[in-house]
Chain A
């Protein structure tokens, strides 16, 4: 079964550094998402992306965050200047259309020191 793949599985970075988390969504999917889960907290929505633009974003997704689909297969999340509180598991997801369930990747654990 096709799956969403995320790299790296674990990223350690120093506060203030830029990080890019990478995702390859399922190939025929058109909607792309980033979610995150801080340890001990709920999975929370960050951003949705469709037709090469952000369709919706949460209050968490401030100017430090950006997303990009640089080519036909990758979908990236960039955090410009990481803070300690950005430490979390970041999940990429995709869906084939507007109503279909989201398929999630296995996540990237980001640790900011």
Chain B
């Protein structure tokens, strides 16, 4: 299933700099996108989301950008902190038949972010 792809398996950034994580999708029915962070031995933790009617959403140090024509989204973390070191997953969904939920998420394979002090 290659509907959601994160082409960079890892990213290394210096503390204080910007981290940019990228994600591409192929299914034009996707209209809701999320980023999750995952530490070892824990479940994914929600970070930020964006619906297809917007092209940017910001929450503190985290900003998600959506380019619908390119089917591309990115997560910017500014400034990056050592505690941000984790696996970052991009996920996408489309409303289920009958409008029951956006809970069927299709995940990318994840990008390991390492922020060096």
What residues of chain A have their CB less than 8 Å away from a CB belonging to chain B?
A: 4, 31, 33, 35, 41-45, 48, 50, 55-56, 58, 91, 93, 95, 98-99, 101-107
Contacts and interface: CB of A to CB of B under 8 A. Distances in A.
A103 B49 CA distance: 13
Nearest to B99: A98
A33 B103 contact: yes
B90 to A, nearest CB: 11
Nearest to A6: B43
Given A48-B101, A98-B102, 8 more contacts: A43-B107, A45-B104, A55-B101, A56-B97, A58-B104, A101-B46, A102-B103, A106-B41
Interface residues of B, number: 28
A101 B94 CA distance: 13
24 contacts: A31-B101, A31-B103, A33-B103, A35-B105, A42-B107, A42-B109, A43-B89, A43-B107, A44-B107, A48-B101, A50-B101, A55-B96, A56-B101, A56-B104, A91-B43, A91-B44, A93-B103, A95-B103, A98-B95, A98-B101, A99-B32, A102-B103, A102-B105, A107-B43
Contacts of B32: 99
A56 B43 contact: no
Query: For A45, A50, A91, A103, which residue has the most chain B Cβ atoms within 10 angstroms?
Result: A45
Nearest to A3: B43
B107 A56 contact: no
Nearest to A57: B104
B93 to A, nearest CB: 9
